[in-house]
A and B are shown apart, each in its own frame.
Chain A
Amino acid sequence: MNLARPLAVATSLGLIAPMLTACGLFGGPKLVIYNAQHEQLLEEIVPAFEDETGIEVELRNGKDLELSNQLVQEGDASDADVFLTENSPAMSQVEAEGLFEELPSDILEVIPEMFRPESGLWTGFVARSTVLVYNTDKIEESELPDSIMDLADPEWAGRLSFSPTGADFQAIVAAVLELEGEEATRAWLEGIKENGTVYDGNNVVLENVDSGESEVGIVYHYYWERDRAEGGDVSDSSAQHYFTDQDPGAFVSVSGAGVLESSDMKDEAEQFLEFLVGEEGQQIIADSYALEYPLNPAVELDQVTQPFSALQPPAVNVSDLDSEAVVDLMTEVGFL
């Protein structure tokens, strides 16, 4: 008993201390990044940035719309200095609330115009392409549709899967909405809802296509590429079909980065963005496991099936992707 008490105190201190450290109660000011991009990708970039600049970074990970809505709720009181997303609609939402600081032109000019908004309030830094993965045992590539819109046809009943609850798919819907208009998009959503099996998460879609439960699935290219690179656990019986000719299904979704107006470390935040879109940062991304397309033209991603230059995406201005209209439409159709 005499020994047990101090021991218990010591143990509990030993347990609480790392927790408090993790919560940032100790140490100086850090650059706070609200990060909706894949955590593993940032874990490669951040150490390189910290080494080079000596600026310490704290990541808070979440999902696109979870974090964007959180930023909107927090408003000026937010701790966030930088916001990174997987897809652009969440960036547009924060932009619409006027929460972004305008970026200096030396950051903006690195990225081609079509991958950043005209406002210059944020920029894209990587991109991912929509693909149709298909089970190679169940269907031939020649039988696949020319357009993603065809998947709403009755012939695809029971053969399709996708993950409508994620921001990834919602970005694709945003592109469809922008390109085809509200009526056609509603009809398309109703069609694929009728035809498809709904899963939560693109990995799950990929796994179910690979195991043959669905013949085809709508995902982004890197899910399949990454799994192939890691050994093909859930991709060895499947392949990717890229839509062409500016089809909505060839949509390339842009991951965005922006600096918040409420930030009290704007200089450091801009340094981070500079690093992110600069050649060094983009090369780290290209060499990483992420297999997303860097948007700096000086850097090429060559470990994937299709080089960036071979894609034929539709012309969609990132500023025009409207997440609110998409959520309303998807709620109406009954996905949410």
Chain B
Amino acid sequence: MSAALEIHGLEAGYGRTPVLLGIDLVVKDGVTAILGPSGCGKTTLLRTVAGFVAPSAGTVSVAGSEVVSGRRSVPARLRGLGYVPQDGALFPHLDVAANIAFGLTAAERGGSYGRTDRVAEMLELVELPSALAQRYPHELSGGQQQRVALARALAPRPTLVLLDEPFSSLDASLREDTGRAVVRALRAAGAAALLVTHDQGEALSLADQVAVMMGGAFLQVAPPATVYLSPAEPRVASFLGHASLVDGYVEGDAEARCALGIVPLRMTCEPGAVRLAVRAEQIQIRPHSADRADGAPAEVVDISFYGHDATVRVRLDSGEQLSARTPATSVPTPGDRVRVGVVGDVVAFRDDAAPRP
């Protein structure tokens, strides 16, 4: 079976500003998240696949048939893709059933909106009660609107659904439930999906594959655990999960020396200067003591208390600033003298320019 989506060397831009600088991506099935900060080009990528932006080079194939080849491209309406934009963009003048049936042929609709099996089936798929069929969009909650938008996109049985920041306007609590439900529906419908988001939690928790995008290019395309645990480069590491980058020096084996002492490396590395990505949850704040083995001496700068835990910013005596995540039970106060240590192994990136400690 051919991949749901294959992109090779895709380039696009607005006027003379290039936005996509040669994108390669293969989506076999499941959900692929395009994760990146705003302005990185992820929405343009999605819109190029949808057919709303004309590319300048590259190819795009959907389910084996080429929809873009250089400047030649199939019109958006003939690509047979599902599309869920921000806020869902439900047709405000149509009720839920008519929204869902919008993309169906007259035969599939069976003449009367809302009474077709397909509409009922779709409502069930996105876990909405069938009573909602006669409601109008403004009578729905934000989460319900997004589910209807997905049902509308899935109704014509596309092989690929494009989701553009679909949960960004929802409350945090609603966001997770809606996201889960959307992924379940996509799985049940057997459709692959491209999910554009700037929310790493969303990307990591919902996707089978994450493509980290910056400056119009992918930095890494891999399963969520891989991009998180084995970032391909420092930018990926610092974007995902608040890693502090610390200068270090690899001295043989799988260890590096840095301001925090000797830390074990996740993967072996050639000796030399490196940058170490230390995640906030790996940094431990310990009471001040004379024992150097407890970690590097530091002073607490400030604290953000979240309830379940807290972020503590410390300044090492050697000058570096770090962020640590600490359980709520052992939060220091600003100005406290502490020692800071590392738990677990860290990822090292070759950095020949870095000075030796």
Q: Are A and B in contact, CB atoms below 8 Å, in the complex?
A: no
